[in-house]
C-alpha cells in the first residue's frame, strides 16, 4: 500500500493505493523465516518463473538476508516451456480459480481479497494432491530425458485416499536414476552434472565426483 501522489477521479492525493511489487527481494524472506516450522530443514528452494519482477539467486541484497539466521534460501527458475514443474501453474491456480470466480471484483483490492479468501478456503487435501502431481511430472520428465513429450500422470488419488494408501512422496526407481545419470555422462552435460553434484553435496564437477557417482550407482564410463 502506497499513498497516491496526485488527486484523481476516485481518490485524493495521499490516499493509500494497492500497487504491485516491481522487484521481489528481501521483503518476502522474513515472512518465510517467521512462518517456517522449527523442526523443518532450513534449506529452502523458491521456484519462480522468468517474469521481470523476479530476481537472480546471486542478487547481493537477497543473498544477505537469505543466508542469515541459519537459513539457506535459494532461488531456482522454472525450466523454459515447462509449466508442469511449477506448482502454481500445475494445479494451484486452477484449484483456486473455481473459488475465486464466485466473487465479483471491481478493483485490484477486491481481486486480492478474492484470491486470499480462495486460498484460505482451499482444501489442504487438494494442495497435497497437486504436490504429488508435481512429483509425478518430474518422474515422467526423467523418463523422457528432459523432453516435454509426456502426459501428466493420473494416480487416481481419490481412490487411494479412500483406501488410506495415498503415498506421502513418490519414489524414483533406482534404475531410472542410473539411466538418467548415464545419459548426462554420455552427452557430456557438465552443467547438469554440476547441479546434481552440488545438490548431493559432492562439490563441483570433477573426475573424483564422476568416479564417485559411477562407483556408487553402477554407471559405466563412456
> Has residue 222 got a pLDDT over 60?
no
Residue 55 near residue 24, CB atoms below 8 Å: yes
Residues 42/72, Cβ–Cβ less than 8 Å: yes
Give the pLDDT mean for 105-120.
82
Give the containing element (helix H, strand E) for 73.
strand 72-77
**Cβ proximity of 61 and 26 under 8 Å:** yes
Cα 201 to its chain centre, rounded Å, is 21
Residues in Cβ contact with 216 at an 8 Å cutoff, skipping those fewer than 6 apart: none
Which residue did the predictor score with more confidence, 80 or 174?
174
In contact, 87 and 47? CB cutoff 8 Å: yes
| pLDDT single digits (tens) 113-154 | 888 888 888 888 888 998 999 899 989 999 998 888 888 888
Q: Return the higher-pLDDT residue of 210 and 57.
A: 57
What's the pLDDT tens digit per position in 188-208?
A: 777 777 776 666 665 555 555
Report the predicted TM-score, pTM, of the whole model to 2 decimal places: 0.61
What sections of the chain are H helices per DSSP?
Answer: 28-35, 60-66, 87, 93-100, 108-121, 124-143, 157-162, 174-186, 190-199, 207-217
Position 143 scores a pLDDT of: 92
For the stretch 33-36, contacts whose Cβ atoms lie closer than 8 Å and that sit 24 or more positions apart, written own/partner, are 33/69, 33/71, 36/71
Query: Model confidence over 2-59: pLDDT tens digits?
Result: 888 888 777 788 888 777 766 555 567 888 888 898 888 898 888 776 666 567 777 8
Residue with the bigger pLDDT between 81 and 82: it is 82
Q: What is the per-residue pLDDT for 135?
A: 92
Residue 128 or residue 89, greater confidence: 128
pLDDT band at 103 (very low <50, low <70, confident <90, very high): confident
Q: 222 versus 175: which is more confidently predicted?
A: 175
Q: Can you read off the three cell numbers belonging to residue 145?
A: 530425458
10 Å CB burial of residue 96 (0-12, 13-18, 19+) is buried
**Distances, alpha carbon 109 to alpha carbons 75, 99, 116, in Å:** 28, 17, 11
Domain locations in the chain as residue ranges: 25-30+40-77, 82-170, 174-217
Amino acid at each position: 500500500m502506497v499513498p497516491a501522489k496526485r488527486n484523481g477521479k476516485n481518490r485524493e492525493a495521499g490516499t493509500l493505493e494497492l500497487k504491485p511489487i516491481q522487484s521481489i527481494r528481501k521483503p518476502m524472506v522474513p515472512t518465510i523465516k517467521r512462518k517456517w516450522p522449527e523442526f523443518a530443514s532450513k534449506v529452502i528452494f523458491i521456484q519462480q518463473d522468468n517474469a521481470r519482477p523476479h530476481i537472480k539467486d546471486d542478487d547481493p541484497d537477497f543473498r544477505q538476508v537469505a543466508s542469515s539466521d541459519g537459513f539457506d534460501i535459494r532461488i531456482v527458475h522454472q525450466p523454459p516451456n515447462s509449466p508442469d514443474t511449477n506448482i502454481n501453474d500445475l494445479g494451484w491456480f486452477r484449484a483456486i480459480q473455481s473459488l475465486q470466480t464466485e466473487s465479483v471484483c471491481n478493483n485490484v483490492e477486491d481481486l486480492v481479497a478474492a484470491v486470499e479468501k480462495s486460498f484460505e478456503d482451499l482444501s489442504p487435501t487438494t494442495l497435497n494432491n497437486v504436490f504429488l502431481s508435481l512429483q509425478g511430472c518430474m518422474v515422467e520428465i526423467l523418463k523422457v530425458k528432459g523432453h516435454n513429450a509426456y502426459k501428466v500422470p493420473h494416480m487416481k488419488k481419490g481412490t487411494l485416499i479412500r483406501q488410506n494408501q495415498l503415498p506421502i512422496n513418490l519414489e524414483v526407481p533406482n534404475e531410472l536414476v542410473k539411466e538418467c545419470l548415464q545419459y548426462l555422462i554420455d552427452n557430456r552435460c557438465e552443467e547438469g552434472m554440476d547441479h546434481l553434484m552440488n545438490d548431493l553435496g559432492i562439490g563441483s564437477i570433477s573426475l573424483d565426483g564422476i568416479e564417485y557417482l559411477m562407483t556408487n550407482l553402477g554407471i559405466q564410463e563412456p
